[in-house]
Amino acid sequence: MPGDEMEELRGEIVALETALAAAFGEIAVLRAAVEGGGSAAALRSMEGMAAQLEGSVLRGVVGAEALGRPEAAAGFERRMEQIAHALRNAIAFRDR
């Protein structure tokens, strides 16, 4: 596999790891809401996780580009777009 493709795959791996971390965080927030602490505590937790996820995405893209790995950044962005699309579809399916 050529080096550019390997870098793109590395970027996709980081994107998937980021999405997985966000999913585990969301599960933790939902459990906290179910077990107590109220909606205000759950909302604060979700907002904190959203800020962390945003920072993680930014670090992933900027870090890859700063290291001269534009293919990794491209792979990261592409995978994050696929994840966002899948989440939008899941939400649309759930609402029906």
DSSP character string of 31-96: HHHHHSSHHHHHHHHHHHHHHHHHHHHHHHHHHHHHTT-HHHHHHHHHHHHHHHHHHHHHHHHHH-
Is residue 51 exposed (0-12), middle (13-18) or buried (19+ Cβ within 10 Å)? exposed
Whether residue 46 has pLDDT greater than 80: no
Whether residue 96 has pLDDT greater than 60: no
Q: Which tens digits make up the pLDDT trace of 74-94?
A: 888 888 788 777 767 665 655
Closest to 11 (Cα-Cα) out of 80, 66, 87: 80
